[in-house]
Amino acid sequence: DSGVTQTPKHLITATGQRVTLRCSPRSGDLSVYWYQQSLDQGLQFLIQYYNGEERAKGNILERFSAQQFPDLHSELNLSSLELGDSALYFCASRKGLAEGYNEQFFGPGTRLTVL
């Protein structure tokens, strides 16, 4: 158990809908990362938050947004869902920002299926 929790574990929805994925980092970790793992693209970085502020953006679609709340949990919002958004969504947390210094701890993932 990494100490990172994600809910829900599974989510099945229809095209055009909107969903929210939730992540609670390990106690004391200020940084949260969101990743998408699809069959054709593999694992890709989406976005990073540190202590409530967005720090880095990767291959995140405009239909997707995220935020980190004062209690440090984070939510990833996916809207106007398409079939191709079906994937595993992971969040990971780490203590700080210093490069290369803190390993990331991954949550169990949310499996999103868009029908």
Partner 1 sequence: KNEVEQSPQNLTAQEGEFITINCSYSVGISALHWLQQHPGGGIVSLFMLSSGKKKHGRLIATINIQEKHSSLHITASHPRDSAVYICAVAPNNAGNMLTFGGGTRLMVKP
Residues that bind partner 1 (CB under 8 A): 2, 31, 33, 35, 42-45, 48, 55-56, 58, 88, 90, 94, 97, 99-106, 108-109, 111
Closer of 3 and 16 to partner 1 (Cβ): 3
Contact by Cβ (8 Å): 65, 82:
no
Work out whether the CA dihedral 13, 19, 20, 21 comes out positive or negative: positive
Min. distance of Cβ 42 from partner 1 in angstroms? 5
Nearer to partner 1, 34 or 81 (CB): 34
Q: How far is residue 10 from each of residues 7, 36, 82, 84, measured CA to CA in Å?
A: 8, 14, 17, 16
CB of 14 to partner 1, least distance (A): 23
In the bound complex, what is the minimum distance in angstroms from residue 15's beta carbon to partner 1?
A: 23
70 cis-preceded (ω within 30 degrees of 0)? no
| Residues forming a β-bridge with 3 | none
Q: Which is nearer to partner 1, 79 or 86 (CB)?
A: 86
